[in-house]
A and B are shown apart, each in its own frame.
Chain A
Amino acid sequence: MTSKAAFLARLRPAPSPAAPDTPPLVRYEPARRGGDGFAEAFTALGGVVHRGGLREGVAAAAAGRSPLLAVEGLDLGADLVWPGCGVAGAARAAVGVVRARAAVAQTGSVVLSAADNRGRAASLLPPVCVFVIDPDTIVDTPGDLLRSLAEPPSQLVLVTGPSRSADIELKLVVGVHGPGEVHAVIVSS
């Protein structure tokens, strides 16, 4: 391996002409804002939005499927609780319920943090994923979200719709490795 110093010493780039260091904000057309904007974008991606209470929303999303997995601290009486159930438990779950750190209205993205959910598998392994979103954490654009990030956690994911692929003949398939069905339950915490 080359040492860092030796590696960097070989880099002699051309100096840049003076340019503003802060890029302009990206603006969208049409612009989506707030909870309604998020709901519109999330639905357009194929997700389902539930308002009303936490238990009602999760029950509607789960639609009787089990086992239900929830991250600890969510009062749902779930069959499996993460992280106690382990990766094996997450792999068995039919529906996984996780806490979102934030959401982005423009793109319908849900922001998940490995710190808040004490890991990643709960939102990744079950085929159905339910995001519990506090409406006060919904920002307008990805730029707003990124600019608000101070110290990022070990892993932060912006989830924008269900898992998909178009690798075969460019024909869209939903639910390849990650959850193929996504729900948002919007409740004040």
Chain B
Amino acid sequence: MSGTPVVIGPPRFADRADKALGDEALRSAVRNATQLLVDNRAAAFAGLAEPDLVRDAARAARTRILAKLPELLDQWSSRLEAHGGQVHWCADAEEAVAEILAIVEARGARVIAKGKSMASEEIHLNPALERLGKEVVETDLGEFIIQLAGETPSHLIAPAIHKNRFDVAELFSADAGRPISNEIPEEAAYARVRLRQAFLDADIGITGVNTAVADAGSICLVENEGNGRMCTSLPPVHIAIMGMERIVETWADLDLVLALLARSATGQALSVYTNVITGPRREGELDGPEELHVIVLDNGRSALLGGEFQEALNCIRCGACVNACPVYRQVGGHAYGSVYSGPIGAVLTPLLAAEDPAARELAEASSLCGACAEACPVRIPLHDLLQKLRARSGPADAGRARRVGFTLWSWLWASRPGYVLSTGAVRAVSPVLRRLPPAVSARLPGWAGAWARTRRLP
């Protein structure tokens, strides 16, 4: 599988995290944003009469749905095809990109308007389109900002969370060729006018899918700005990229997901636009796409089915875990080096890119505090999955010193004499360690020095 993660900056998470920790502007932006989203989520959940019941029901529904996944995908696609939709089954990122490029070329398309789609980032679609000389315009305000900055999203829901309005004014002024004010309403007004023309000119609209509905053959997209509606109404072709697990069976299931999604993501009861699309335009409709293509993406997801990590596929991509995570809240999304950051990113990235050590080490980007599992609307036990991931790859990836250290430690503590000997030795040395001046103890090798900088040595 090509793609996730795309590591920008130093190759190790610890080094990227250190870099982020030194960026006070970034830290302040991430801290404020995540706290606001956490508070908003809490307020919104107070609007549900029995929130835990709804979460339990959603978890049960997702479990039932995944158990029937092949059957539901089959039903859904047949129904969508009966309404004139076209479904493309793609085993990996390369296939998905190839399918999309084929549609683009067949239509002779030049301008492509994109709604927010994490799956499209996962398969690195934009560079492939740009290499063919296509003009790709990101139309979600946050995605538009980071496209101008040449960056990747730093948060599942608010991709430009790390940029402040001065950064944005600079980017918009360069784009416009004239000064754009740093007042946020002015910046939004600029984006509205700038992107309106892209919607009207676009040959193809590309979006993601929040969830498909099997019973009806529909796809559901939620958004707040209206750019999703624009991308799915104005251009003559709509391509929707869908992770294969993003499906529910019934309208009742969709109700559960919708009751939780916006509340968990932004604290709204519902996003402003909940679009339910069931095929291209029909007789008598003046607008709407002539062609609807749904790209169904596997790209490593099928490997999780039937295994101990299957629950990671329950994710509805709300970002609640990201906002709750003490690691994310300190360093932001770019430190993860993957399109999926925060706890769900730390679980999915190693699973979807299992052969990449840079992906595997993300399972270590956690203190296992469990705040993520607490926040997750579908109750994915993310902290348990992180622990399982570490158990799986830890021994293979551990450096020599670590392996020797752990082997020695477990050998010593496997017997009573070994235990007594080792703890006695530490007790004997302890008074000396405690009296080391801070300047010396902080320079002890490896984790001992790191420990000594903020804690007392044993």
- Render B248-279 as a binary contact track against A, CB cut-off 8 A, 1 for contact: 00111111101100000010111111111111
Candidates B188, B271, B286; contact of A119 at CB < 8 Å: B286
Confirm or deny: A53 has a beta carbon within 8 angstroms of a beta carbon on chain B.
Answer: no
Given A14-B306, A23-B61, A120-B287, answer yes or no on A142-B255 (Cβ-Cβ < 8 Å). yes
CB B378 to nearest CB in A, in angstroms, measures 12
Interchain nearest-CB distance for A109 vs B (Å): 6
Say whether B77 contacts A4, CB under 8 Å: yes
A31, B49: Cα distance in complex, Å:
9
Q: Known contacts A118-B284, A167-B160, A170-B158: does B196 contact A177 (CB below 8 Å)?
A: yes
Give B288 Cβ to nearest chain A Cβ, in Å: 6
CB pair B47–A21 under 8 Å, yes or no, is no
Q: Is the CB of B276 within 8 A of A2?
A: no
Find A16's partner among B53, B64, B229 (CB 8 Å cutoff): B64
Instruction: Indicate whether A63 reaches chain B with its CB closer than 8 angstroms.
Output: no
Closest to B255 in A: A143
* CB pair A8 B274 closer than 8 Å: no
Contacts of A143 in B (CB 8 A): 252, 255, 259
Does A158 sit within 8 A of B, measured CB to CB?
Answer: yes
Interfacial chain A residues near B36, Cβ < 8 Å? 170
Please tell me if the beta carbons of B255 and A26 are within 8 angstroms of each other in the complex.
yes
Question: Are B67 and A121 within 8 A (Cβ)?
Answer: no
In the complex, chain B residues whose CB is within 8 Å of the CB of A52: none
CB contact between B50 and one of A27, A146, A147, A151 (< 8 Å): that residue: A27
Contact of A13 among B67, B225, B258 (CB under 8 A): B67
CB pair A176–B164 under 8 Å, yes or no, is no
Given A114-B281, A165-B224, does the pair A173, B188 have CB atoms closer than 8 Å? yes
CB of A15 closer than 8 Å to a CB of B: yes
The answer to whether A120 touches B48 (Cβ under 8 A) is no
B207 is an interface residue with CB less than 8 A from chain A: no
A residues in contact with B298, CB < 8 Å: 2, 7, 10
Please indicate the chain B residues that have their CB under 8 angstroms from the CB of A141 in the complex.
Answer: 255
B279 touches A177 (CB 8 A): no
Chain A 1-25 residues near chain B, CB threshold 8 A: 1-4, 6-17, 19-24
Asked if A177 contacts B225 (CB within 8 A), the reply is yes
Q: How far is the CA of A160 from the CA of B47 in the complex (A)?
A: 16
Instruction: For the complex, count residues of B whose C-beta is within 8 A of A.
Output: 107
Q: Tell me whether A152 and B278 are in contact (CB under 8 A).
A: yes
Q: Across the interface, which residues of B come within 8 angstroms of A115, CB to CB?
A: 282, 284-285
In whole Å, how far is B250's beta carbon from the nearest beta carbon of chain A? 8
| Residue B109 interfacial (CB < 8 Å) | no
Q: Indicate whether A91 reaches chain B with its CB closer than 8 angstroms.
A: yes
Given A8-B70, A15-B67, A23-B252, the answer on whether A161 and B286 have CB atoms closer than 8 Å is no
B284:A152 contact, CB within 8 angstroms: no
A147-B252, A167-B140, A176-B192 in contact; A28/B47 too (CB < 8 A)?
yes
A107 to B270, CA, bound (A): 7
| Interface set, chain A 116-131, CB cutoff 8 A to B | 118-121, 124
Q: Which residue of B lies closest to A146 (CB)?
A: B251
* Beta-carbon nearest neighbor of B116 in chain A: A167
- Check A16–B163 contact: CB distance below 8 A: no
Q: How far is the CA of A159 from the CA of B229 in the complex (A)?
A: 11
Contact of A159 among B199, B244, B273, B285 (CB under 8 A): B273
User: Which of B4-12, B89-97, B367-375 forms contacts with chain A?
Assistant: B89-97
CA distance A170 to B404 in the complex (A): 48
Q: Are A146 and B254 in contact (CB under 8 A)?
A: yes
In the assembly, what is the distance between CA of A53 and CA of B421, in Å? 91
State in angstroms the CA–CA spacing of A43 and B160 once bound together: 30
Is there a chain B Cβ closer than 8 Å to A189's Cβ? no
Instruction: State whether B288 touches A120 (Cβ < 8 A).
Output: yes
CB neighbours (8 Å) of A156 from chain B are: 275-276, 278
Closest chain-A Cβ to B125's Cβ sits at a distance in Å of: 16
B288 contact set on A, CB distance < 8 A: 114, 119-120, 154-155
Q: Is A75 part of the binding interface, using a Cβ–Cβ cutoff of 8 Å?
A: no
Q: Does B192 lie within 8 Å of A28, measured CB to CB?
A: no
Query: Min CB distance, B25 to chain A, in Å?
Result: 12
Contacts A13-B305, A147-B252, A160-B270 given: A19-B63 contact, CB under 8 Å?
yes
Bound together, the chains give a CA A154 to CA B306 distance in angstroms of 35
Rounded to whole angstroms, the CA-CA distance of A147 and B258 in the bound complex is 13
Give complex CA distance A143, B58 in Å: 14
Given contacts A8-B73, A11-B69, contact A152 B270 (CB under 8 A): no
Shortest distance from the beta carbon of B293 to any chain A beta carbon, whole Å:
11
Q: Is B149 an interface residue (CB 8 A)?
A: no
Q: Other than the known A2-B91, A169-B184, what 4 A-B pairs have Cβ atoms closer than 8 Å?
A: A7-B298, A83-B285, A164-B272, A169-B33
